[in-house]
Chain A
Amino acid sequence: MSVPTTLTVNGVKRTIEIDDPRVTLLDLLREHLHLTGTKKGCDRGQCGACTVIVDGRRINSCLALAISHDGAEVLTIEGVAQSGAQGGRLHPVQEAFIAHDGLQCGFCTPGQIMSAIAVIQEGEAGDDPERVREAMSGNLCRCGAYQGITEAVLEAQKALGAASVRKVA
């Protein structure tokens, strides 16, 4: 039995025939849509490498059945940078991760960045590094780049705050 499932992924509407209900959202992104930026770490909801934003909320895509998310809007790491004729521009969170060495091997980074974007949107951590660390605790980094990650989240938050002030002005 094949069930058509419609997802809006990074702004593009996609209809996928799901022929096995066991397919997770993570496997759908990686194996069916070839969006391999979202990483499979533990595949059991423990590491956060598979974090994507679904209907405005960050979740572990490894513990979500794709078929159950029919109609959802999904944002992955591939969809966060601005595209443009001159090559576009990275998302301020991506820029901050580079500026603060918020990574070493990079495997957890897409999940870290999706989580960080959500932390800033949630708006609960403020400029308190301890609240940022707690909010990011669902994303493990085995290289131990946590200090740079925390700094990057704080700086990106400032940059995004300034950007939204500019937009309003």
Chain B
Amino acid sequence: MKPFDYVRPATVQAAVAAAAEPGAVYLAAGTNLLDLMKGGVSRPNRLVDVSHLPDLDRIEELADGGVRIGALVRNADLARDLSFARRFPAVAEALLSGASAQLRNAATVGGNLLQRTRCAYFYDTASACNKRDPGAGCDARFGDNRQHAVLGWSESCIATHPSDFCVPLVALDAVVEIEGEAGRREIPLENFHRLPGDTPQRESMLEPGEMIVALRLPAAAAQFAAHARYLKIRDRTSYAFAVVSAAAALRIAGGAIAEARLALGGVALKPWRAREAEAILNGARADAALFDRAAQSALAAAKPSGGNGFKIELARRIVKRALTLAAAGTPERMPALPASPFAAVSGEVIHA
């Protein structure tokens, strides 16, 4: 690991000032950053330790019915907050399906948004990677790429965004609060992560030195609480990143879907909101044929970036299953295996 200078500012303003220097990065729990630094993938000159900053570890109910989650709230604490989990069950399920209990106890909300792709070529400094070394090329493009993107990718980069948490957040219109030298601003999470284009090294809308201070969910996001699921296919039962995942949230009134939200994970370099599929679902009666059409629509623009064509059909199936399970109702208790698609739904054949 390259040596670095360590600073621990006492306020957000001091942190932003300390991070303005080129080569400076923020340190929260460090569960991703330290891994990247040990591998020589990240080589910062300075760590600005924000993990001790006051007031950023709160979950606040807002007057308008929304909720504001401080950037330093730990993943496990958010998932275990009963009031939060009751109102936003798909978010809690996504959190609990990610990483391991040890990592969830440390990893923060802000860090989850800023975690880097797990593309093996990005991690391997002997491989060409446009994200790590702009202009170097992309060894994943014709490499071992079964896990890579099927939506929104470019010839420069076919990596995926690894977060589970961000998938239901994008579906539920989460907003990111950002502090920088120019002051406070906010941006919808859906627009926060960038698709690769020709500049895969630019991963988010953050300007150098800017810091995430909080995440907000609007009051309307809680209206889906009775019919909200996050489902995730993994290469092993637990403690693995998504091959593909989907968050489905339905507001059902009078036997029809009044409003639907749908987003996919593991398919692109950002959590992927499927707005056209939502439009198909809105106002319709929930049934298998409808969910099929929504799933077809959600993946209509998908194309393989290598040996990963199977992910397109797998993503359609996980979308259909997430919608089916959401329509069946949010479970009373968090499933033993959160986000597992293999639990039976009463009256449903799993592998039709």
Contacts and interface: CB of A to CB of B under 8 A. Distances in A.
A22 B3 contact: yes
Interface of A: 3, 20-22, 24, 43-45, 48, 51, 57-60, 62-65, 67-68, 115, 118-119, 122, 128, 130-131, 133-135, 137-139
Interface of B: 1, 3-6, 8, 27, 29-31, 34-35, 38-39, 47, 49, 51-52, 74, 76, 99-103, 105-106, 237-239, 336-338
A43 B1 CA distance: 13
A130 B335 CA distance: 10
A68 B49 contact: yes
Contacts of B239: 137-138
Given A43-B38, A63-B34, A22 B106 contact: no
Contacts of B238: 133-134, 137
Contacts of B103: 45, 59-60, 63, 138
A45 B123 CA distance: 15
Contacts of A134: 238, 336-338
A63 B3 CA distance: 16
A131 B31 contact: no
Given A68-B51, A128-B336, A63 B4 contact: no
B80 to A, nearest CB: 8
A122 B27 CA distance: 27
| 8 closest Cβ pairs, A-B complex | A138-B100, A137-B238, A21-B6, A57-B105, A130-B336, A137-B239, A59-B106, A138-B102
A65 B34 contact: yes
B100 A63 contact: no
Contacts of A65: 6, 27, 30, 34, 47, 49
